[in-house]
């Protein structure tokens, strides 16, 4: 009976903690919950066997991602023909995969506790967690959505350390605080006090650094950029009968832009309702508009080269198309089908799966208001890819996206929440143009200065500070992720050798 009661208690506490931690992300934005929501799992990991702890970690991690990724259900329900009994399967499988990494961290904490000590295991927990997030963001193409540091996107004092260590720096601080709280439950008082003190120093340093950075004056060099959010619903976007109406909306919005005298005009991803380079008449209309307004336009379109299709951003000026960037990081199950030889049947169920070819080169456009780079759709959630453009000289970054696939769900807001970190990591302004929203101007401090809400049709023009310096993250990249991976491997190897030596001595 006691065991059943313990299992029930663990389930209630861990699943409730996972649920409220997921609500730290948009649109609920309960950003305080991640500061304590992982403490129960870490505490349980120090008093339970590794196998049981892995189960609890995996189960609670799966709950977290099921709540976080619930917006994906809209896409499968509306834009696929997946049989009803299976319609919840894709989201569950993705959540279970992501939750696996939470289970792996819990297993490591339990295993190190059993062979060394709970104090060492909790001290290493932030490294274990960041290593797991790093692996999840890189393996099999990477899926870094739900990195816990992103929950703090609106807490500007906290996220300024991204300049030093990226989003994983914020994750590390969150885990340090959770580990200290777990230590208060399971360690002797001296160990608990030491853990709380170390976490307090780290948190104070984080907030102090943030306060200093936020008090600094902004860059004086400013460019003027216009964003166009046409708000064309996905079913109408490529409908030939709707093309004339779509273009009417576009050019009506362009006339409004002209009154605001921008140096650059940014359209969303795949804004052109046709394949742009196959449509000379549309190219001419964009060219003439650019010449009349005296500003280049960045236009998203699908492009076709020798029968292969790419997701492309075209730079259009009064001379026509003068530059292009082809999307490098394609969306699995959206822009290509992984393991198509095995999973080919899925294509018949989901109309949103394309078969695109990836680009191969990060392009920095040499155009007003300053050299700028472009990341298309969810490319911007990959810090390493984003960094390539900045290292190649981009003083401004643009994100073109089309989140119309996700309707009124929290998906578009969660997507937006990752870009303040890219801004802080490189102290670069980000201009984000989304088809149905959320379009935004993001300052180098990570502040979302202005935005157009979901399905709000309009234009927005503002001055954006231009990047003037290189941060530590720009110079050396995600060093904390690699350090955490190395530290985790070293502790695991040392613990294994220690356990092997102890076993050998006992046998003798």
Q: Summarize pLDDT for 415-448 with one digit per residue, the tens.
A: 999 999 999 999 999 999 999 989 999 999 999 9
Model pLDDT, residue 500 = 72
Strands 448-452 and 439-442: antiparallel
The model carries a pTM of: 0.94
pLDDT tens, 311-323? 999 999 999 999 9
Average pLDDT of the residues in 356-374: 94
Residues 6+ apart with CB under 8 A from 63: 14, 15, 18, 19, 22, 99
Report percent pLDDT > 90 for the chain: 77
Handedness of CA 44, 45, 49, 54 (dihedral sign): positive
The pLDDT assigned to 501 comes to 72
Task: Clarify whether 269 is annotated catalytic.
Answer: yes
pLDDT score, position 345: 52
- CB burial of 207-246 (b: ≥16 within 10 Å; e: otherwise) equals bebbeebeeeeebeebbbbbbbbbbbebeebeeeebbeeb
Q: Which pLDDT belongs to residue 244?
A: 87
3 state SS of 313: strand
Taking the CA atoms of the chain, what radius of gyration do you get in angstroms? 24
Taking the C-alpha atoms of residue 477 and residue 469, their distance in angstroms, rounded to an integer, is: 15
Beta-carbon-side half-sphere exposure of residue 446 (alpha carbons within 13 Å): 26
Query: What are the residue boundaries of the structural domains of the chain, listed by start?
Result: 2-216+477-496, 222-467
Give the Cα separation of 69 and 94 in Å (integer): 9
Angle (CA) 167-170-174 rounded to 5° is 140
- Quick check: is 327 catalytic? yes
State the chain's mean pLDDT as an integer: 92
**Marked catalytic residue, from 163, 335, 357, 377:** 377
**E strands in 62-129:** none
How does pLDDT run across 60-74, given as a tens digit for each residue? Answer: 999 999 999 999 888
Rounded CA-CA distance 151/48 in Å is: 29
Query: Over 70: is that where the pLDDT of 352 sits?
Result: no
Q: What's the pLDDT band for 335 if we cut at 50, 70, 90?
A: confident
pLDDT of residue 242: 85
Q: Which of 53-62, 349-358, 385-394 has the lowest mean pLDDT?
A: 349-358
Question: Which phi and psi angles does 439 have, rounded to 5°?
Answer: -80, 150
What's the pLDDT score for residue 349?
A: 58
Buried b (16+ CB within 10 A) or exposed e, 453-484: ebbeeebbbbebbbbeeebebbeebbbbbebb
pLDDT band, residue 341 (cuts 50/70/90): low
For residue 281, pLDDT over 60 is answered with yes
By the 10 Å C-beta count (0-12 exposed, 13-18 middle, 19+ buried), 197 is classed as exposed
| Marked catalytic residue, from 133, 269, 335, 357 | 269
Q: Say which of 327, 335, 388, 425 is annotated catalytic.
A: 327
- At residue 172 the predicted structure's pLDDT band, cuts being 50, 70 and 90, is very high
Give the alpha-carbon dihedral of 490, 491, 492, 494, to 10 degrees. Answer: 80
Quick: pLDDT tens for 224-242. Answer: 999 999 999 887 877 888 8
pLDDT-based confidence at residue 1 (cuts at 50, 70, 90): low
d(CA 488, CA 481): 11
pLDDT band of 507, cuts 50, 70, 90? low
CATH entry, 222-467, from 3.40.190.10, 3.60.110.10, 1.10.260.40, 3.40.50.1000: 3.60.110.10
Of the candidates 435, 490, 445, 436, which has an alpha carbon nearest to the alpha carbon of residue 465?
A: 445
What's residue 503's pLDDT? Answer: 64
366 among known catalytic residues:
no
The pLDDT of residue 234: 83
């Amino acid at each position: 009976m006691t065991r059943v009661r313990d299992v029930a208690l663990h389930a209630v506490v861990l699943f409730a903690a996972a649920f409220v931690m997921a609500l730290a992300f948009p649109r609920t934005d309960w950003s305080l919950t991640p500061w304590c929501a992982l403490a129960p799992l870490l505490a349980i990991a120090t008093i339970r066997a590794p196998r049981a702890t892995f189960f609890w970690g995996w189960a609670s991690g799966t709950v977290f991602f099921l709540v976080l990724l619930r917006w994906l259900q809209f896409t499968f329900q509306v834009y696929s023909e997946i049989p009803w009994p299976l319609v919840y399967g894709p989201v569950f499988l993705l959540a279970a995969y992501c939750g696996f990494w939470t289970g792996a961290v819990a297993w490591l904490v339990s295993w190190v506790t059993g062979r060394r000590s709970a104090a060492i295991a909790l001290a290493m927990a932030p490294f274990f967690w960041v290593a797991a997030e790093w692996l999840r963001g890189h393996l099999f193409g990477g899926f870094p959505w739900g990195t816990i540091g992103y929950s703090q996107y609106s807490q500007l004092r906290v996220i300024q350390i991204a300049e030093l260590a990226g989003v994983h720096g914020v994750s590390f601080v969150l885990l340090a605080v959770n580990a200290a709280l777990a230590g208060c439950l399971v360690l002797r008082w001296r160990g608990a006090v030491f853990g709380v003190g170390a976490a307090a120093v780290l948190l104070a340093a984080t907030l102090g650094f943030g306060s200093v950075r936020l008090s600094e004056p902004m860059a004086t060099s400013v460019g003027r950029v216009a964003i166009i959010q046409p708000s064309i619903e996905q079913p109408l976007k490529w409908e030939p009968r709707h093309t004339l109406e779509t273009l009417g909306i576009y050019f009506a919005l362009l006339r409004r832009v002209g009154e605001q005298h921008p140096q650059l005009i940014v359209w969303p991803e795949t804004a052109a309702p046709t394949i742009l380079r196959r449509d000379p008449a549309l190219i001419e209309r964009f060219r003439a508009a650019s010449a009349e307004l005296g500003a280049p336009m960045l236009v998203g379109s699908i492009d076709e080269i020798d029968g292969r299709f790419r997701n492309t951003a075209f730079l259009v000026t009064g001379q026509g198309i003068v530059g292009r960037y082809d999307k490098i990081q394609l969306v699995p199950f959206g822009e290509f089908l992984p393991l198509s030889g095995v999973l080919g049947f899925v294509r018949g169920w989901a109309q949103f799966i394309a078969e695109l070819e990836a680009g191969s080169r990060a392009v920095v456009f040499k155009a007003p208001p300053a050299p700028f780079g472009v990341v298309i759709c969810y490319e911007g959630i990959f810090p390493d890819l984003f960094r390539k453009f900045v290292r190649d000289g981009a003083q401004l970054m643009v994100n073109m996206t089309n989140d119309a696939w996700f309707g009124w769900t929290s998906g578009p807001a969660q997507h937006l929440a990752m870009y303040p970190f890219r801004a802080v990591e490189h102290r670069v302004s980000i201009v984000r143009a989304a088809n149905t929203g959320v379009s935004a101007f993001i300052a180098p401090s990570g502040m979302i200065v202005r935005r157009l809400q979901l399905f709000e049709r309009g234009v927005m023009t503002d001055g954006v500070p231009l990047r003037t310096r290189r941060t530590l993250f720009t110079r050396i990249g995600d060093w904390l992720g690699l350090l955490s991976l190395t530290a985790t491997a070293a502790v695991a190897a040392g613990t294994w050798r220690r356990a092997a030596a102890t076993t050998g001595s006992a046998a003798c």
